[in-house]
Amino acid sequence: MNHQIDISKLGAEKGVYRIKFGLGYFWIHIVCLAIAGLGLAIFLGADVLWKQIVSGIFFLFLSSPLIFLLWRTVPSVFDELRVYENGFTYKSRKGFQSCLWSQVKDHDDILDIGNRLKITSIEKRNKETITFAYKMRGLDVLFHELDEYEFSQIPESKKATAEDLAKSPQTLGELKATYHVKKSVFDLFPLGLLLLVAGFGVIMPIANNNVWLFPACSVPMAIPFALYLWSMVSTRNDELKIFENGFTYQTRKGLASCLWDEIEDYSTVRRGPDISGIKKENGPWISLASNIQGMDDLRSHLRILVKYTGPEE
């Protein structure tokens, strides 16, 4: 349900933003179009009925990413975001939506190119959800303004002072817990699905008696299986240690350590709460295995240090 507010409560307008068209917007369309074109070429090359049926199914399979992408992006090309002093409005195919900063209950964020934190969707306290279009401009401004509002709501007595920072721990302290990658038979299920897709890619050139389909069809369909298998194998011995004042993470590449006060940013898996990486202040990203245990011990210490440098060009 769309709960609109009195626009006068939003205050002064700070910016109007629309979709950012360019190579960054269309490259995924081009890739999906090329994949669908490959399926069409295979279908048109089939010379007997059973090959046409199999190739037609394969063509529909390869066309599905393009169809889904067009379904998600075409209706949003005219979306408009307006950021105000006390909130924002968003006009999309769903209608006109508005929100005060005080009405925000939760929001999903991404770390985009250029280390820009952007809001991708907002959940209001009345359960209304506002989802922003792909490549919408101004989402970094939206994050900055909401962050400024949330910081302003913190009592001065609870904000860190220079003396507090000077007292910050400099060592990891006492070891609290050690965690490893959780091994489960259910992890083999997506691997099996990817193997099935890879196997189908191998069968297609054989069924069509065309050796040129191996590099054009078999290899691309086998890559996801190989990447997923490599991810499972390369992270199976990862180790997370939780200390009083920080953590260490051991991988095949070496040992990384980070104090709680050194955490600058973190990332989560797409459409999920699991932590995929932690950014150390003035240091590298520490990538975490997808099935590493001990996430709850990390979660309470996570934070994002926003370094806002102005609206994205």
Instruction: For residues 88 and 191, state if they share a domain.
Output: no
24, burial (CB in 10 Å: exposed 0-12, middle 13-18, buried 19+):
exposed
Check residues 46 and 67 and name the one with the higher pLDDT.
Answer: 67
Instruction: For residues 11 and 141, state if they share a domain.
Output: yes
Predicted local confidence at residue 67, as pLDDT: 94
How many helices (H) and strands (E) would you count in the chain? 8, 14
In a domain, 246, yes or no: yes
Instruction: For residues 246 and 111, state if they share a domain.
Output: no
Predicted local confidence at residue 14, as pLDDT: 92
Instruction: For residues 191 and 280, state if they share a domain.
Output: no
Predicted local confidence at residue 186, as pLDDT: 73
Predicted local confidence at residue 123, as pLDDT: 94
Total domains present in the chain: 4
Instruction: For residues 15 and 125, state if they share a domain.
Output: yes
Distances (CA, A) of 39 to 5, 32, 54, 58: 49, 11, 11, 6
Instruction: For residues 15 and 133, state if they share a domain.
Output: yes
Instruction: For residues 15 and 101, state if they share a domain.
Output: yes
Confidence of residue 111 (pLDDT cuts 50, 70, 90): confident
Predicted local confidence at residue 155, as pLDDT: 87
Put the strands of the sheet holding 87-92 in their side by side order. Answer: 13-17, 80-84, 87-92, 95-100
Residue range 156-206, pLDDT digits in tens:
878 777 777 677 788 999 999 999 988 777 777 777 888 888 887 778 777
In this predicted structure, the answer to whether residue 219 has a pLDDT above a threshold of 90 is no
* Phi, psi dihedral angles at 204 (to 5 degrees): -55, -50
Instruction: For residues 69 and 86, state if they share a domain.
Output: no
Q: Which of 148, 73, 147, 151 is nearest to 107 (CA)?
A: 147
For the chain, the average pLDDT equals 86
Instruction: For residues 256 and 241, state if they share a domain.
Output: yes
Predicted local confidence at residue 97, as pLDDT: 92
Average of per-residue pLDDT across 256-278: 85
pTM summary value: 0.54
Check residues 101 and 6 and name the one with the higher pLDDT.
Answer: 101
Tally the C-alpha atoms within 13 A of residue 40's C-alpha that lie toward its C-beta: 9
DSSP type of residue 187: G
Predicted local confidence at residue 284, as pLDDT: 86
